[in-house]
Amino acid sequence: MNNKTKKEIWLFISGFGIMFAVLSWLQESSILSKDIGWTKGFYAVISGFFLYKYFRGGL
């Protein structure tokens, strides 16, 4: 696996992590329901993808 591929994977995982943290913060602030369960991870993947695409210049 070359360095460019590793960088892209790292950027996508970073986007997921950032959005998961934001959603967790929204839960702790009682803006989101505390019992959203596995959907928080799903929302983090979707919104993290858009974050990744935005900062990579793809949107």
**Tens digit of each residue's pLDDT (9 = 90 or more) over 1-59:** 899 999 999 999 999 999 999 999 999 999 999 999 999 999 999 999 999 999 886 65
Structural domain spans, the chain: 3-55
Q: Is the dihedral of CA 49, 11, 55, 21 positive or negative?
A: positive
**Within 13 Å and on the Cβ side, how many CA atoms surround 47?**
13
Q: Within 13 Å and on the Cβ side, how many CA atoms surround 5?
A: 2
> Within 2-59, where are the H helices?
3-28, 39-55
Going by the DSSP 8-state scheme, the letter that residue 32 receives in this structure is S
pTM across the whole model: 0.86
